[in-house]
Structure 1
Amino acid sequence: MGKSKTFTELIVWQKAHALTLDVYRITQNFPKKEVYGITSQIRRASVSVAANIAEGFKRRSPNDKARFFNISEGTLDETKYFLILVKDLNFIKANDSLMEQVDEVSKLLYSYKKAILNSNS
């Protein structure tokens, strides 16, 4: 954690970025009428996860850093909901690998946030 010089070195950011790329790939085939609806919403949510990790990385105080990771956790859950929705709407067949990615990023975010807050003690 303290050894990373840029946010791109963080495994949690790398995994969140990979999830975002996969979300963009699956949404390319969504119905065109959804471009400004669900397609835009799920992309925005997934981008926000990695973006908040990046923004939080440069914050100086542990509480401020943790706040951005908490925001990432919230938008990750939003992304998860959208993945459930698009599966239920039959826009995609299955999303097991995407859900596994979401769960992995969630665990990493939690661990990273916990480590930040514990370093403050």
Structure 2
Amino acid sequence: MGEIKTYKDLLIWQKGIDIVLLTYKITKSFPQEEIYALTSQIKRASVSIPSNIAEGYGRNTDKSLSHFIDISRGSLYELETQLLIAKQLEFIQDLEIYNKVSSLINEESKMINAFYNSLAKS
């Protein structure tokens, strides 16, 4: 693995960005009346994942990083829940993208948990 020089080198941040991009694609097909409701919540939750990883990294202490990783994990689970709701409401038109983002959420969850645990041990 290469040296980590910035938060952009963190795989959990990179995967978080991938989740944001797919999430924005999914919400394009949502009903117009959802733009200030579920669509907005989904976008905010997705953006919160890599944003909190970056903010925690920028705080320059393991304690702060752990705190913001924990917030990022909460946003990830919030996003997963919101996407499940959107799917059940039949707002999601492209199930291929939904399945891909669901898979990424699962991977990100495992990676965040492992990263958080590694910080707790240091």
Report the TM-score when normalising by structure 2: 0.91
The residue that corresponds to 2:33 in the other structure is 33
5+ residue gaps, structure 2, are none
Amino acid paired to 2:42? I
Provide the C-alpha distance between the structure 1 equivalents of 2:11 and 2:60, rounded to a whole number of angstroms. 20
Task: For residue 61 of structure 1, report the CA deviation from its aligned partner.
Answer: 2.2
Amino acid paired to 1:61? T
Query: Structure 1 runs of 4+ off > 4 angstroms?
Result: none
Task: For residue 6 of structure 1, report the CA deviation from its aligned partner.
Answer: 1.1
Q: Deviations over 1:49-77 (max 9, x none)?
A: 11000101122221211000000000100
Q: Secondary structure at the match of 2:73?
A: helix
Q: 2:117 aligns with which of 89, 105, 114?
A: 114
The residue that corresponds to 1:101 in the other structure is 104
Amino acid paired to 2:17? H
Task: For residue 116 of structure 1, report the CA deviation from its aligned partner.
Answer: 1.4
Provide the C-alpha distance between the structure 2 equivalents of 1:118 and 1:59, rounded to a whole number of angstroms. 19
The residue that corresponds to 2:12 in the other structure is 12
Task: For residue 113 of structure 1, report the CA deviation from its aligned partner.
Answer: 1.1
Between the two proteins, what is the percent identity of the paired residues? Answer: 39
Task: For residue 99 of structure 1, report the CA deviation from its aligned partner.
Answer: 1.2
5+ residue gaps, structure 1, are none
Greater shift, 1-10 or 54-63, is seen at: 1-10
Provide the C-alpha distance between the structure 1 equivalents of 2:2 and 2:112, rounded to a whole number of angstroms. 15
